[in-house]
């Protein structure tokens, strides 16, 4: 399974809590891969969710708040985390760099305009690094993470079959 943003969280949750073809038939390679997934939430979502939406960030979503993410991550096994491969994205460093200047005022830095780096790194799992110069979605300062053709090719070639 490949997931962007909340899709990575849903993929991990599905692997952990449900019997699927990932368990029955997927062999070799990576079962779960994600890009820009805020596994541990977004610091601005619960408090500033409506404000983030107005500023051009993501819509209000309790599941992506710090409290909501804690519920999603509760009970995730070490075995499921060990099968999770993740990539983190963030804006390019530099003076006044951000994906969205207004949203950046309420998020921890660095971030990709939605997913804050500190909440996107799983304490376990397979970290494939941070790519700078990418944002979460189109219409931000840098291209969206899921447009990275090189990384997409790597994920495709490493996917479990």
The domain total for the chain is: 1
* Mean pLDDT of successive 10-residue stretches along the chain, which has 161 residues: 94 93 81 96 68 54 86 94 97 87 87 95 95 94 96 95 84
How far apart are alpha carbons 37 and 119 in whole angstroms?
9
Residue 99 lies in domain: 2-158
Is the link from the previous residue into 38 a cis peptide, with omega within 30 of 0?
A: no
Say how far apart CA 10 and CA 68 lie, in whole Å: 13
Q: Is the entire prediction scored with pTM above 0.75? A: yes
Q: Tell me the three state secondary structure of residue 126.
A: strand
Residue 115's SS3 state is: coil
CA dihedral over 145, 52, 58, 120, signed as positive or negative: positive
pLDDT given for residue 134 in this prediction: 97
> What CATH code is carried by the domain that includes residue 140?
3.40.50.1820
What distance in Å separates the CA atoms of residue 137 and residue 135, rounded to the nearest whole number?
A: 6
């Amino acid at each position: 399974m490949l997931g962007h943003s909340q899709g990575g969280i849903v993929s991990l949750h599905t692997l952990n809590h449900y019997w699927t073809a990932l368990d029955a038939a997927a062999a070799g390679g990576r079962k779960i891969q994600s890009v820009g997934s805020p596994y541990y939430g977004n610091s601005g979502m619960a408090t500033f969710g409506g404000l983030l939406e107005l500023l051009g960030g993501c819509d209000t979503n309790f599941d992506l708040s710090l409290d909501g993410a804690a519920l999603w991550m509760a009970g995730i096994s070490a075995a499921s985390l060990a099968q999770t491969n993740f990539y983190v994205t963030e804006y390019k460093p530099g003076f006044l760099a951000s994906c969205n200047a207004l949203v950046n005022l309420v998020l921890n830095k660095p971030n990709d305009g939605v997913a804050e780096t500190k909440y996107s790194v799983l304490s376990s799992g397979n970290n494939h690094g941070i790519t700078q110069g990418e944002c979460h979605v189109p219409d931000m300062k840098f291209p969206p993470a899921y447009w990275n053709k090189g990384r997409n090719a790597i994920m495709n070639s490493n996917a479990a079959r």
